[in-house]
Structure 1
């Protein structure tokens, strides 16, 4: 990229969910750093889950009214499809007004090169079109899951969807390696709301000027080939973002408990199971007991993340109780005894990248969100997968069956399955299966490192993306 080019502005609009905000801000930090001052960044964001501007002094932040009621905010974890649909409707006018009156009207600022927005925020394509503003889409979840989203209309027409109980194990002919039960369905009380959301995301991405994905070619070559056939727009695979980004600030919406690092420092190498199911997944008290007893019976040391709101069936009397004392009474005594003996640690939220890079971590028990999956791969940590919804099922299938760097709990949370899986992953003596898995995951870790060096696929894709951004039309006209 010619660094002598005239300065340009990027307008950014993230989806206000933890797993989407993180990669968007990582991407923005990468672009800003790589441009060496040639890009000015303006981040427009909803009021809900708004990022902290003080963590990113190099960027401009503009908040827009999202008009969300308390019940609609609560749906962000209970019915993600409904929440995203509401957000797409309510942000249209506030976002357009912000672009027209606070960004495009500024005559003494660098011209706007393009808008980069989350794929889930599909309404931004129509707003961008109305202002003749190029839009590039960021897909924060796995590329293969986006292939799945785009396939839903065809799968419904052929009768594969809705999936019948008797056909859960059947393969999906249109998507290699996936079973019907792996399709990336976002939880919703109304399936039609989800299918419409998937269609809107797909169609507005096809209408965009390009697509950015958080992956690297040697990991996701097949998915990238299918994306190219599906969307027919320029595609830029510049991941893993969290390794490329020079940003030191955290965009976490929850405060990580750093005390778990001092606890990890006291543990033997590769001796700890790190358990975290992300920022949205929630479970019943009974399932938490299965998790706990699986850990106890496996006889492995553990770091367990139990965030606020993780338990969904609290009684009214329990809701006002201190979280720590409530969990102590809820968890089996045997698990609490392990904690007392220094064999376990529980935190509300962990500094995940630092945890996964710690030498004491032997296994990552994860919901297989895409950020977590990439972070596990990049640190060479084998995974135990318990997917909940969306792209997590796709990711778990690839972790367990395609890349073969982990196992999946196929039958839900049952203490016997948990115990057996953890022993298969953790016990090192005379365990050829584990040895071969460690070779594969270390190979992927090395590939992730090589792709970002000069000459690597992600390095070149980032160069191409920068050139593409600076080639976008900057002679914008505001449509009234």
Structure 2
């Protein structure tokens, strides 16, 4: 190929997605950010057909001219009927076949294009992407969420050596750099600390922790001042760490929601409803797209809101029958809707506290809009995020006893919305908000890291 012809071919990047929970939308947001900074790069987004259909259908195609979906096999046997609940079995079946499935799909697309991919980007869970990138002889860029959970995964072997026996849940983690004695083994995902290292999730997380130090770049959706000491430790363990967030502040990114969801928000009029409330007076409640409260906790939290007279906006995707009988008829101070634009809601002056599951995306959005948190974590990194919210940044509190009771919820809401403790949390989170905005400013560290990342992908 002549140099002149090579120069006319745009850089093509393969993107490998972990197609479960909120990972697809998070990875697509990352790719959209990169594509906005480098519109000459073409991306192929490899994922399951159902994921691609959801992410790229209808109005979701806006602004995605240089990002194309490509469907891969889900690894499920013909006629497979998934069990109800968390898709652990489906994840295991997918991961068993994924290395060969992705590698085959990459070769198919390269044959269609008539030239090779120049870079491989993957969700960090897909640890085997490093082996694929090595065969392709291209850089491997992998994407992660919060810094502290990442350090935990890199130190899994040490954690298991120090802790990994049942009954040690209260053992402190001060042997880990950047962790105080206020962190406990119970704050970590059980797959990291206890149990069979060969179970699908534990094997995936362990393999990821072993493989990530070989990545060309690990890009994390955070900013340096958020967790400086942990960031310094990660830099010692990785070839190159780039903190490129908060991504939702970097630039306007086309929404990943559908027309129906946009209409839902307009129909529900959440922002107009919030306009009628005093500053920092409303509790915003959401437990993410995957986590759901047990019915008994839904009822307890609803009773607390009603008895305490707390104005609230609740994004709720569960069964409305879980609410106490007559709750909606009796309660005029609150609003329950199936979906909201969370960034817009958290950025509204009337929001005084975010009642959350403490997924990293929610924590980061709460920080960047200066909203304290009440946490009720469920699984994965949520407990560790909650502990950081409590003891590192001191910008929120875990619900008393770890589950919602009417008494515990009233106590937490009063502290956050009315008492001095809430005012102090708001002051502290306001400092982090300012640091986040500086990080993505014209001369901010995250802005610099994003530019460096684009250059590595282009190279």
TM-score (norm 1): 0.83
Match of 2:416 among 425, 434, 446: 425
- Indicate whether 1:351 and 2:338 are aligned: no
Q: Does 1:331 align with 2:333?
A: no
Find the counterpart in structure 1 of residue 138 from structure 2.
133
The question of 1:441 aligning with 2:429 is answered yes
Contact 1:185 1:391 in 2 (8 A): no
Deviation at 1:73, TM superposition (A): 5.0
Distance 1:48 1:153 in 2: 36
* 1:285-316 residue CA offsets vs partner (Å, 9 max, x unmatched): 222222222322332111122214xxxxxxxx
**Could you list the per-position Cα deviations for residues 199-236 of structure 1 after superposition, in whole angstroms to 9, with x for gaps in the alignment?**
11112222322200000011121221121223x21111
Secondary structure, counterpart of 1:364 in structure 2 = strand
**Do the aligned partners of 1:238 and 1:461 also contact (CA within 8 Å) in 2?**
yes
* 1:302 and 2:312 are equivalent in the alignment: yes
Equivalent residue number for residue 38 of structure 1? 40
Please give the alpha-carbon distance, in whole angstroms, between the structure 1 residues aligned to 2:260 and 2:236.
38
- Structure 1 residues 156 and 353, CA gap change in structure 2 (3 angstroms): same
- Give how far 1:87 is off: 1.8
1:108-145: CA deviation from partner (whole Å, max 9, x where unpaired): x6x52211000112232233333333321111x31100
Equivalent residue runs for 1:352-371 within 5 Å:
352-371=342-361
CA displacement 1:323-381 (0-9 Å, x = unmatched)? 5xxx2x43224633443x2x111122222111111222111000000000011011111
SS state at 2:172 partner = coil
Q: Where in structure 1 are there 5+ consecutive unaligned residues?
A: 309-322, 472-480
201 and 187 in structure 1: CA distance in 2 versus 1, 3 angstrom threshold: closer
Name the counterpart of 1:312.
none
Moved more, 261-270 or 17-26: 261-270
Question: Any idea what the Cα deviations from partners look like across 1:12-50, whole Å, max 9, x if unmatched?
Answer: 122223421222112111111112x33112111122433
Which residue in the other structure is 2:4 paired with? none
1:463 aligns with 451
Is contact 2:368-2:432 (8 Å) kept?
Answer: yes
The structure-2 alpha-carbon separation of the partners of 1:208 and 1:105, relative to structure 1 and needing over 3 Å to count, comes to farther
1:164 matches 2:167: yes
Aligned residue for 1:221?
A: 228
Conservation of the 8 A alpha-carbon contact between 1:26 and 1:245: no
Secondary structure of the 1:203 match is helix
Q: Please state whether the residue corresponding to 1:112 is helix, strand or coil.
A: coil
- Aligned position for 1:21: 24
CA distance, structure 1, for counterparts of residue 431 and residue 129 of structure 2 = 39
User: Partners in 2 of 1:208 and 1:248 — Cα distance?
Assistant: 29
SS of residue matched to 1:91: helix
TM-score between both structures, scaled by the size of structure 2:
0.87
Contact 1:21 / 1:251 at 8 angstroms: preserved in 2?
no
3-state SS of the aligned residue for 1:49?
helix
Hey, what does 1:250 align to over in structure 2?
256
For the residues of structure 1 that align with 2:253 and 2:241, how far apart are their CA atoms?
24
Cα contact 1:276–1:367 (8 A) shared by 2: yes
Query: Are 1:205 and 2:217 counterparts?
Result: no
> Within the alignment, does 1:114 sit opposite 2:119 as a pair?
yes
Pick one of 363, 369, 374 that aligns with 1:373. 363
Q: Give the SS at the match of 2:108.
A: helix
CA distance, structure 2, for counterparts of residue 187 and residue 422 of structure 1: 33
Alignment RMSD (CA, Å): 2.7
Aligned pair count? 436
Once residues 411 and 357 of structure 1 are traced to their aligned partners in structure 2, the CA distance between those partners, rounded to angstroms, is 29
**Which position in structure 2 is the counterpart of 1:277?**
287
Give CA deviations for 1:246-272 in whole Å, capped at 9, x if unaligned. 322215799464113343233333221
